[in-house]
Each structure stands twice: as C-alpha cells, then as structure tokens.
Structure 1
Amino acid sequence: MRITVTGSVATDHLMTFPGRISDQLLADKLDRVSLSFLVDTLEIRDGGVAANITYGLARLGRRPLLVAAVGADFREYGERLADLGVDTSAVHVSATQHTARFLCTTDPDGNQLASFYAGAMAEASAIDLAAVLDRSGDTDLVLIGADDPAAMLRHTRTCRTLGIPFIADPAQQLARLDGPAIRELVDGAVHLFTNEYERELLLRKTGWTAVDVLSRVGTWVTTLGEKGSRVERGGETVAEVPAVPAATVADPTGVGDAYRAGYLCALSEGHDEVRCAQTGSALATLALSAVGTQTYTASPDAVRRLRIATYGPDTADAAGALAGGLRA
C-alpha cells in the first residue's frame, strides 16, 4: 500500500523550562497574561506533522509521498528526508516565503506552550492533489494532516471526487476551523485521529455526538498520552490500548506523529486496528526517547520487539480485535 501524507513541514525551535508552567498561571489574572520564561535549552530541529509522519514511515521501510508547501530553505531538509526514503517530488517550493516555524516550550511535566508561523504553508492550497496523485500513479490512502485550512478542504474534496480513501487528522487546526469546515473534513474518512482535547473540541464545534462521528467515519483513534490510545468503530466494542512503557522520556514533541506513522505502517500491512494501535504506541515510545521529532532511530524489528514485550505476540486478537482494512 502506498500512503500519501499531506500537511505541514516546519522547523521546530524546542525549549525546556525547568519550572512548572502551571505554577506561573494566576487564576485571577488569566484575562491579562504576560509571561516570559527563562529556558535552559534550545534545540532547532526539522518538524511539521506531515514531514514527521513520513519520517516515521520511512524509518519503518515504507516510501510515503509527502505533499506540502515549503520555502527555499527546505533544500537540505528535503534531501535528508529523500535519503531516508520519503518521496519529496510533490513538495511545492515557495518563491517568497520561508518554511513554517514551530516554537515550543516544555516543562518537566510535559506541559507545553507553543506558537506556529505558517510561512510557505499558506501556499499549500495551490497544490493540485489530483494532478499529484495522477503523476504518482499508485496512492492507496491519503492522510490529510494539519495544514493551511483551505488546502485541507481542497485535498479532502479531491479524495472524495477521486474515490480515494482518506484519513482525517486535523490536529491543532481544530482550534482555527469552524464547525462546518470540521464536519466536511471528517465526514467519510476511513480513519479519524484526535487526542483527548481535540476530541472534545471537535464534538463541541461540530455539534455532533460521539455516536454521530462514528456513523460518519470508519475508525476513530484517540491518543491518550501516557495512558495509550482508544480505538472505536460504530456499533463495536471500544478497544483501550495501553502505551508502551518508556525507558527514557526526553521530549513529547512529535510523539503523536510517530504514533500515526506506526499505526499507518501496520495498517498498510493489513493488520487490524488494535495491532495498528500497538505498533503506533511502540514507535511513539521510541520518539519520546529523543529530543526533536525526527531524531529517533527505529526499525521494523525494534518496533516488533517493543510491541511483543508489552502486549505479547497475540494480544491484538485477545483485545477484541476490530475488523481491519480501509472500510468506510
């Protein structure tokens, strides 16, 4: 199965604050917040959700197609991804804008304050996904990740028109999108990815109930941080998949993207959703052990060993495995 991943490409500026961010927030002054954090470290890393996911897929031996808008400063970044096995032929290079920037401060509890500058990502809506997929010729599944909102909507419409299965992964763009746009992005997706907060935000903005969502998507995957993930299908038993224990916790940034890469890799191999979630959790733990979103190392064997050590060789079936594949 060939997977196409659309979404942001960015440069991450990752900082660590030795205190607790929550201790700096005063309940009676939240209407006038003015905070400055003296951070201990600064790491500048390659990132962006689409690039992070394709990085993870490439680490597991897949050759995903990356569809994104970047600046001229992407050259070395793109060469590194291509050397790993990511197909960057569909990346749009802006003539005027820099590649997007992500700035994030993390405290010892894993709480984060972040800002995102779109830059060249604002040109992603100019990408003709239909033409891209026609050139690539062999895409079986498209993940539509956080990106310029107009691009997300255009890519979703293209997948519907062409009859190509798509995954909705709106992530941080849920805060910017309104209810009708979110409903359009989600309706008909073979998979929907959210974290716990995004799940509640999606329900509030769309006005849907969880039952409504599950009547419109094939599988809803909710990541739960250190508690693992939840896999749901309409009318079927909910599967709670524990996280793979982390030997080292270095940086939570991009862990959710690694989870998605592991999940998609297992999905492309025909495994059911529970086994996919277990594989995603294993890759997420490897990502958690490194600072930055594309600095961890992984292999199919390493992920398999972690999965078996945590869940056993047959736990996917014992967990009440949900039917797999790309069913809508």
Structure 2
Amino acid sequence: MRIAVTGCIATDHLMTFPGRITELLISDRLHALSLSFLVDSLEMRRGGAAANIAFGLGLLGLDPLLVGAVGGDFADYETWLNEHGVDTSGVRVSVRQPTARSVCMTDQDSNQIASFHPGAMTEARDIDLRQLLTGHQDIGLVVISPDDPEAMRFHTEQCREAGLPFAADPSQQLARLTGAEVRELVYGARWLFTNEYESALLLERTGWSGREVLRRVGAWVTTLGAGGVRIESADGRSTTVPAVPGVPVADPTGVGDAFRAGFLAACGWGHSPATAARLGCVLAAEALGGRGSQDYDLTARQLLATLASAYDYRTAQGLVPDLRNVGRGASRRAGWRLSPPMTLA
C-alpha cells in the first residue's frame, strides 16, 4: 500500500538556547512578555511535517507521494527527497511565494518556541487531491498533516467523498483552528495523531470528551515523549508502548514525524498497532539522535537490532520480510545499488 502525505514542506532554522526557557518566565508579568534569547547555534535544515513523514516512509521503501505547495527555491530540496525515495510529482510550485520557513529555538530541557511563515503553503488549497490521485490508483491512505487550514479541510473532505482512508494529524495547526474546524478534520479518520499537549488542546477546542473523540475515529495515537506512545480505540482498549530507552537527545524537531512514518509503514504492512508503535518509536529514536528532521539514515540490520534490544526478538523477527525493503525506494529513484537480502541472526 502506498501512502500520500499532504501538508507542509518547509525550511527549518534551528537554534539552541543553553538555559531553561521556564526560568525566564515571571508569572505576574506574562501579560507584558518581552524576551530575547542569546543562542549558541543556528542551523538551517530541511523540514515541514509532510516532507518529514514522507522522508521516513521513503527510507523504509514505501515510495510515498508527497502533496504540498512550495516556492521556486525547492529544486535542491526536491532532489534530496527524490534521492531518499519520495515521489514529489504531487508538489505544486508557486510562481509568487517562497517555500515556507520555520524558526525554532530549543532549550536544554527540549522545550521549544517556534514561529512559522507559510509562504507558498497558502496555495496548497488549490491542489485538487482527487484529480491528483487519479494518476496514483495504488494510494491506500492519505495523511492530512499540518498545512494551510483551508487545504486541510478541502483534502479531508475529498477523502471522505472518495471513501479513501485518511489519517488526521492537525498537530501544530490546532492552535489556530476553531472548534468546528477541528471537529471536521477529525471526524471519520482512520488514525488520529497528537502529542500529549495537543491531545488536551484538541479536547478543549472540540468540546468533546476523550470517549466522544474515540467514537468518531478508528484509533487515537498519542505520543508521550520519553513515555512512549498510547493507542486508544472506541472499544475501550488502550495500549502503551514504551519509548526506546537510553537515546541521546540531539534535537527533538521532527521526532513525531519520524514516529508517524514508522507507525504507518508497519500498519500498511499488516502489523498490529502495538508492533507499528514499536517501529515508530525506533524511527523516532533515530531522528532524535540527529540535528534536524531529516538528519538520519536507516538500515534493516540497525532497525532490527534496536527492535530486538528495546522490545523483543519476536517483534523484530516479524518485521524482517518488510524491512528488507529499506532503501529500495531510494534505489529505484536514484539508481543506488541494493544490499543483498538479510536475515535476523
């Protein structure tokens, strides 16, 4: 099953603050907040939630279709994505706006403050998803990740009309969406993705209880940072999968996107949500150790070794046939030579 990922494609400007943001917040002065941070580093990286998710899926060999809007400055980024197994034929190039920009500062506790300029992302609403997918009949799932809000609404509605399963991943856009907009984006999703803070914000925005949310989606996947991930369904079942232990934190940016790539890949291969969450956590650990959202690489041996050590041998063994495809998407697009088939020793 191929996956189409709609949403933001951006350039990330990442800064590191050596102190703690929380120590600079004075509770009785928050109404007149004015802070400046002297940072230790500035790095420019490729990012955007949709591109990050597609990148992870591409590394796993799933040949994902990326759908979004960019500027004329996208050429080098597009080459990078193609070389890593991502199909960019669904990307619209604006003649008026640059590719979106994100500026994010991370402190020593991994707390972050970010700002975002959408640029060409505002033109994503002009992409007709149903027309685009007529040339990609093998798409079995569409991920609606953070994007221009009107584009998110339009593409979600098109999925419903076409009877095409979709995953709702409103994430960062929850802060600016109305309750009615959030309810519309969530309703009927096969998967709903949030982090722990976003789950509370989603309940506040929608006015729904957790049980009411679960009556409207197939399953709700909540990432818990170092606590792992929780998967809930309307029948009352709840599973918590721990995170990979002992992972050094280089940069948390894009870690949730890497998790989504691993999770959705394993679900597409027919594995249980618990197994999918384990693979997602392993990809998240790989991303956590790199600087930027796409500063990691994957090999089947490496993934299987981490799965076996962090979880169990049986989980790793069950994924062997699927992880033989790691790198194949990139090979097909860039002409790289494949490694020989592998087994789990």
TM-score range, shorter-chain basis?
over 0.9
Separation of aligned partners in 1, 2:13 and 2:169: 23
Displacement of 1:314: 3.7
Counterparts of 2:303 and 2:146, CA distance in 1: 26
Counterpart amino acid of residue 19 in structure 2: G
**SS across alignment from 1:101:** strand
Does the CA-based 8 Å contact 1:140-1:165 persist in structure 2?
Answer: yes
Deviation at 1:315, TM superposition (A): 6.2
Q: Which moved more, 1:185-194 or 1:227-236?
A: 227-236
Which has the larger displacement, 43-52 or 298-307? Answer: 298-307
Asked if the contact 1:11/1:47 (under 8 Å) is kept, the reply is: yes
CA distance in 2 between counterparts of 1:139 and 1:315 reads 27
The 2-side partners of 1:107 and 1:210 are apart by 31
The equivalent of 2:309 in structure 1 is 309
Q: Which residue of 1 aligns with 2:189?
A: 189
CA distance in 2, matches of 1:20, 1:254: 21
How far apart in 1 are the matches of 2:149 and 2:13?
A: 23
Aligned residues of 2:307 and 2:315 also touching (Cα < 8 A): no
Structure 2 counterpart of 1:8: 8
Q: Displacement of 1:308 after TM fit?
A: 1.7
1:63-102 equivalence runs, <5 A: 63-102=63-102
For residues 261-293 of structure 1, give each alpha carbon's deviation from its aligned partner in whole angstroms, at most 9, with x where no partner exists: 110111111101000111100000000000000
Match of 2:289 in 1: 289
Alignment of 1:70-149 (within 5 A): 70-149=70-149
CA distance in 2, matches of 1:16, 1:268: 36
Question: Which residue in 1 is equivalent to 2:35?
Answer: 35
Kindly indicate whether the alpha-carbon contact (under 8 Å) linking 1:246 and 1:288 is maintained by their aligned counterparts in 2. no
> Is the deviation greater in 206-215 or in 300-309?
300-309
TM-score under structure 1 length normalisation: 0.95
What letter matches 1:86 in structure 2?
A: V
Measured after TM superposition, the shift of residue 24 of structure 1 is 1.0
- Report the Cα distance in structure 2 between the residues aligned to 1:114 and 1:95, rounded to whole angstroms: 27
Kept in 2, the 8 Å contact 1:92–1:127? The answer is: yes
Moved more, 205-214 or 299-308: 299-308
Query: Could you tell me how far apart the structure 2 residues matched to 1:58 and 1:246 are?
Result: 26
Give secondary structure in 1 for the equivalent of 2:274: helix
The residue identity in structure 2 corresponding to 1:241 is V
**TM-score by structure 2 length?**
0.90
* SS of aligned partner of 1:180: helix
Partner SS, residue 32 of structure 2: coil
Using the alignment, how far apart are the partners of 1:305 and 1:217 within structure 2?
A: 34
Stretches of structure 1 that go unaligned for 5 or more consecutive residues are 317-328
Q: Name the CA distance, whole Å, in 2 between partners of 1:121 and 1:26.
A: 36
CA offsets per residue over residues 208-256 of structure 1, 9 Å max, x none? 1111111111110000001101001112321011000243210000000
Letter in 2 for 1:116: F
**Number of residues of Structure 1 aligned to a counterpart in Structure 2:** 316
Percent sequence identity is 55
Alignment check: 8 A CA contact 1:220 1:231 kept: yes
SS in 1 for 2:134: helix
1:54 aligns with 2:49: no
Q: 1:62 to 1:172 in 2, by over 3 A?
A: same
Name the CA distance, whole Å, in 1 between partners of 2:128 and 2:252.
Answer: 33
Could you tell me which amino acid in structure 1 is paired with residue 157 of structure 2? R
Residue 74 of structure 1 aligns to a residue in which SS?
Answer: helix
Q: Deviations over 1:110-168 (max 9, x none)?
A: 01110011000000000000011111221100000000000000000100011100000
SS in 1 for 2:89: coil
Q: How does 1:112-261 map to 2 (within 5 A)?
A: 112-261=112-261
Give the conservation status (yes or no) of the 8 Å contact 2:247–2:288.
Answer: no
Query: Aligned partners of 2:129 and 2:300: how far apart in 1?
Result: 30
Q: Secondary structure of the equivalent of 1:110?
A: coil
Amino acid at match of 1:117: H
What is the one-letter code of the residue matched to 1:152?
A: M
